[in-house]
Structure 1
């Protein structure tokens, strides 16, 4: 490969995700809640949403799979049995084909019981 080809690759713009997950609304276990986000034109075309506990590998629930970013929200119910009231949780968007590739995290939030 020639030096000019290598330099042109280095000058190519980086693809940066603009995906922003918001903290869910109506934070009560067992009741409907909305998860909203803002995405940009260079974001992944589909992703999966997980409900995660405070730990790195603390998966609590698969919220949605193969999410279409253009809808900008999803309505779901958080589980009663997998969550301790007052515990810090977050929603994580991951690549559909590689769940180790985290695209975005919501701010931490706490659920209350119904």
Structure 2
């Protein structure tokens, strides 16, 4: 399970960096989104990859502490998802406004020579 999550984080990070280096603004925004997904997955995996385990201790605190998932990374990832959604929406609005003003969606403001 850990290998699959690590490969997923690597693929998301690599794709995000590759898209960040592209010349068009929309590709840069998608690259930032992929990087935020990779970071969220990394933070989520730091809480421990346990399936079928409760996130909190039962009343009285019986049981082994290693059997329970850490709820803090889950809360952090949930907050980060909401913030990244709002940031992506803001970036898209800025993208549309910049394209309307400049007539191009290239990051450097120039079209490619053909």
Same fold judged by TM-score > 0.5? Answer: no
- Could you say which TM-score interval applies, normalised by the shorter chain? under 0.3
Structure with more of its chain in strand, by fraction: 1
The structure number with the bigger radius of gyration is: 2
TM-score (ref. length: structure 1): 0.21
> Bigger relative contact order, structure 1 or 2, given CA contacts below 8 A and separation 6+?
1
Structure with more of its chain in helix, by fraction: 2
TM-score (ref. length: structure 2): 0.21
